[in-house]
Amino acid sequence: MGVRVLRLLFFLLVVRPLALIVIGLNVRHRERLPASGPAIVVANHNSHLDTLVLMSLFPLALLPKLHPVAAADYFLRNRIVAWFALNIIGIVPIKRRAMGVEDPLAAASQAIAQGDILILFPEGSRGEPERLAEFKSGVAHLAKRHAAVPVVPVFLHGLGKALPKGEALLVPFFCDVFLGLPLYWGGDKHSFLSTLEAQINALSAEGNFAPWE
């Protein structure tokens, strides 16, 4: 059985039932989801479920074009985990501690150039549930290189309770996904990052959620 078939079966038989039945997603503004690539989807990050939930929003026909950006030092340190992350999840690995002249975003930039849809978490590692950490500049550098490519902000709520950082037991919990309007590179890194963060905070406010307990 080929890797592409295994990947399709994993998302069809495991990820989609998990997202639709076990978790129970409430998706707002689904029409803002990119219908094709290239595109960059950017979201807050509280749980390992974040990536799978975002990928489950897209039609299965787009699965070959979907690639989460993930840290190579985290996912490629074990041979089995590395194979699964690269072939089944379809990550684009980046090196967080690139040395010398090596371009840490080369693989991500190449994926965008060939029309893929990247999923990226600008906070880097998973943070505290419902607390947005400072954005790292990688997404701004990608947007600068591909100024015509839309950057779609997304706010995820509830996944930090369904599967919090440091926990292995999944707790069924209704989760919300808010999709924002696409942003484009405007010529200034700090302005781009502050606008992106403001968009995600606005999506969070749209939910009018009670304080996290």
Domain holding 119: CATH number? Answer: 3.40.1130.10
In a domain, 88, yes or no: yes
* Residue 145 belongs to a domain: yes
In a domain, 177, yes or no: yes
Among candidate residues 122, 106, 126, the one with its CA nearest the CA of residue 114: 106
Instruction: Name the helix (H) or strand (E) containing 108.
Output: helix 106-113
Candidates 174, 164, 177; CA nearest to 204 is 177
Whether residue 62 is contained in a domain is answered as yes
- The closest of 201, 167, 156, 182 to 19, measured between CA atoms, is 156
Residue pLDDT, tens place only, 87-124 = 999 999 887 665 555 788 899 999 999 999 999 999 86
Task: Give residue 124's domain range.
Answer: 3-207
CB distance 211 to 65 below 8 Å: no
Is the CB of residue 145 less than 8 Å from the CB of residue 101?
Answer: no
Q: How many domains does the chain have?
A: 1
Token pair 């807050």 is at which residue? 44
For residue 119, is it within any domain?
yes
Please indicate, yes or no, if residue 44 is contained in any of the structural domains. Answer: yes
Global pTM reads: 0.89
Share of the chain above pLDDT 90, in %: 55
Average pLDDT, the chain: 86
